């Protein structure tokens, strides 16, 4: 099965598409297993950014000259690519932001201040990234909303029965991560959305850790908003997406003001541009958006379904091999998981573990992963996190495990 899947997938060709994978770290070949933090970029994305800067670098939506027209067309074409990638109803619902964090802040500020009042409830989960906690806490102080937390069980699964107990007619927004960046838990977002909708709640999905691993269909999910970052999708940093239903976006006030989101300005009154431009103030990360389009083209050429199959097999191998190591304990044993695998060792601090692995060329993440409340839930300060991509191999997993065993021997 493994050989058949690898042959279909052509892992050697894929790895050749990512020039950074040939990097040498401390005299060892790079084994990059920090993909939940950011993914590496294929040559196709790098080339597209170079093409922009060397062939048609110009500002968008402003010039009548040819370079501006080409740049504007390339930029706007990416909306359609994103629309198709997540099966959104229309490209005009695609708003470019700086990333998932920026998108969530936009929603908390714009949707929150338009839609929420004192006493209203917002529900998030115990496994949320800080980016989906702090903006709602600010609204709690500024407006007087109530922020409710859906707990997780000892395996890192969201407790649906507790969610159904929490939600009520007072719940106006449910904002939930699709895949946990720390635990790898895949939440049943379609089921949660259905429950939330029965109470009239709006649903926001943070897809920062799922967009690159799982097929996403916003119409099938039934959510109202979905956010993700480009840099976790093999695209450049500093670019992201907010998708929202058009009627809701039209009703929301602008998040920021400035050029391009203005229709007309006088000293007496300002008229704002239509969606999506209403939420894209100032000069955008043009090369980032164009790079995002190239990343989507690249992933589409391979197929998200094929990527998922390969990564599922690789993830299972990762868990099986790590489970053989004495003194290692997984943090999170949910039934449905993807990509991220967090663990601790009984006698080695995660930061020491990460430093030792780095000396063998193995890049993992250590710390609380911007999920401090989750760390407190498991009564630990931090974890070591290995997170995979479709360019990783079983051989690299074995290098990781060998390096962990070497670190254990040294510390003992």
Check: pTM over 0.85? Answer yes or no.
yes
Using the 8-state DSSP alphabet, how is residue 23 labeled? -
Position 4 pLDDT exceeds 50: no
Domain of 360: which CATH number? Answer: 3.90.1150.10
Kindly provide the residue ranges of all beta strands, DSSP E only, lying in 5-93, ordered along the sequence: 24-25, 28-29, 31-32
Position 267 pLDDT exceeds 60: yes
* Whether residue 166 is found in the same domain as residue 296: yes
Whether residue 345 contacts residue 353, with contact meaning beta carbons closer than 8 Å, is answered with yes
Question: Residue 37 falls within a domain, yes or no?
Answer: no
pLDDT of residue 403: 98
| 370 assigned to active site | yes
* Whether residue 11 is found in the same domain as residue 100: no
How confident is residue 269, by pLDDT bands cut at 50, 70 and 90?
A: confident
Separate counts of helices (H) and strands (E) for the chain: 16, 17
* Whether residue 315 is found in the same domain as residue 280: no
Domain of 160: which CATH number? Answer: 3.40.640.10
What tokens does 258 get? 């400035």
* Whether residue 233 is found in the same domain as residue 109: yes
Position 5 pLDDT exceeds 70: no
Q: What is the pLDDT of residues 73-126, one digit of tens each?
A: 999 999 999 999 999 999 999 999 999 999 999 999 999 988 999 999 999 999
| Dihedral of the alpha carbons of 55, 56, 58, 62, in degrees to the nearest 10 | 170
What is the residue whose two structure tokens read 């099986």?
Answer: 320
pLDDT of residue 84: 98
Q: What is the pLDDT of residues 162-212, one digit of tens each?
A: 999 999 999 999 999 999 999 999 999 999 999 999 999 999 999 999 999
Long-range contacts of 20-24 (CB under 8 A, 24+ apart): 21/391, 24/361
Question: Residue 41 falls within a domain, yes or no?
Answer: no
Last residue of a domain, one of 301, 317, 338: 301
Tell me whether residue 173 is exposed, middle or buried, using C-beta atoms within 10 angstroms of its C-beta: 0 to 12, 13 to 18, 19 or more.
buried
Would you list the DSSP string of 207-225?
A: -TTTTTTS---HHHHT-SE
Using the 8-state DSSP alphabet, how is residue 230 labeled? S
Position 262 pLDDT exceeds 90: no
**Which residue in the list 341, 370, 377, 401 is annotated as catalytic?**
370
Tell me whether residue 188 is exposed, middle or buried, using C-beta atoms within 10 angstroms of its C-beta: 0 to 12, 13 to 18, 19 or more.
middle
Domain encompassing residue 384:
2-32+303-406
Spatial distance between the Cα atoms of 173 and 56, rounded to a whole number of angstroms: 42
* Whether residue 308 is found in the same domain as residue 297: no
pLDDT of residue 365: 97
Position 19 pLDDT exceeds 80: yes
Q: Structurally, how many domains does the chain consist of?
A: 2
* Whether residue 218 is found in the same domain as residue 74: yes
């Amino acid at each position: 099965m493994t050989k058949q899947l690898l042959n279909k997938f052509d892992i050697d060709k894929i790895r050749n598409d990512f020039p950074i994978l040939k990097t040498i770290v401390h005299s060892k070949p790079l084994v990059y297993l920090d993909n939940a933090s950011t993914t590496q970029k294929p040559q196709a994305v790098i080339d597209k950014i170079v093409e922009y800067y060397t062939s048609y670098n110009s500002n968008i939506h402003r010039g009548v000259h040819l370079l501006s027209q080409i740049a504007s067309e390339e930029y706007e074409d990416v909306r359609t690519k994103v629309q198709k990638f997540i099966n959104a109803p229309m490209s005009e619902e695609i708003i470019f932001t700086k990333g998932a964090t920026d998108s969530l802040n936009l929603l908390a500020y714009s949707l929150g201040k338009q839609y929420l009042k004192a006493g209203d409830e917002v529900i998030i989960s115990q496994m949320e990234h800080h980016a989906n906690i702090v903006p709602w806490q600010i609204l709690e102080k500024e407006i007087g909303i109530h922020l409710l937390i859906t707990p997780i069980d000892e395996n890192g699964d969201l407790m649906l029965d507790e969610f159904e107990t929490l939600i009520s007619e007072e719940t106006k927004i449910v904002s939930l991560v699709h895949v946990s960046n720390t635990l790898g838990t895949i939440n049943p977002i379609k089921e949660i959305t259905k429950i939330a909708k029965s109470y009239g709640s709006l649903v926001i999905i943070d897809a920062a850790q799922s967009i690159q691993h799982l097929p996403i269909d916003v119409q099938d999910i039934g959510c109202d908003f979905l956010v993700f970052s480009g840099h976790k999708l093999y695209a450049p940093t500093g670019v992201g997406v907010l998708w929202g239903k058009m009627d809701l976006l039209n009703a929301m006030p602008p998040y920021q003001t400035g050029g391009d989101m203005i229709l007309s300005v006088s000293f007496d009154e300002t008229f704002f541009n239509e969606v999506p431009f209403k939420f894209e103030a100032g000069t955008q990360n043009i090369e980032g958006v164009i790079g995002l389009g190239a990343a989507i083209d690249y992933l589409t050429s391979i197929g998200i379904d094929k990527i998922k199959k390969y990564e599922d097999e690789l993830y299972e191998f990762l868990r099986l091999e790590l489970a053989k190591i004495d003194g290692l304990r997984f943090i999170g044993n949910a039934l449905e998981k993807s990509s991220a695998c967090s663990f601790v060792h009984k006698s080695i601090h995660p930061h020491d573990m990460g430093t030792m692995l780095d000396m063998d060329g193995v890049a993992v993440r250590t710390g609380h992963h911007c999920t401090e409340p989750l760390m407190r839930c498991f009564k630990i300060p931090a974890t070591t996190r290995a997170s995979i991509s479709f360019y990783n191999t079983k051989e690299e997993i074995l290098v990781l495990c060998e390096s962990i065993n070497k670190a254990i021997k040294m510390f003992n």
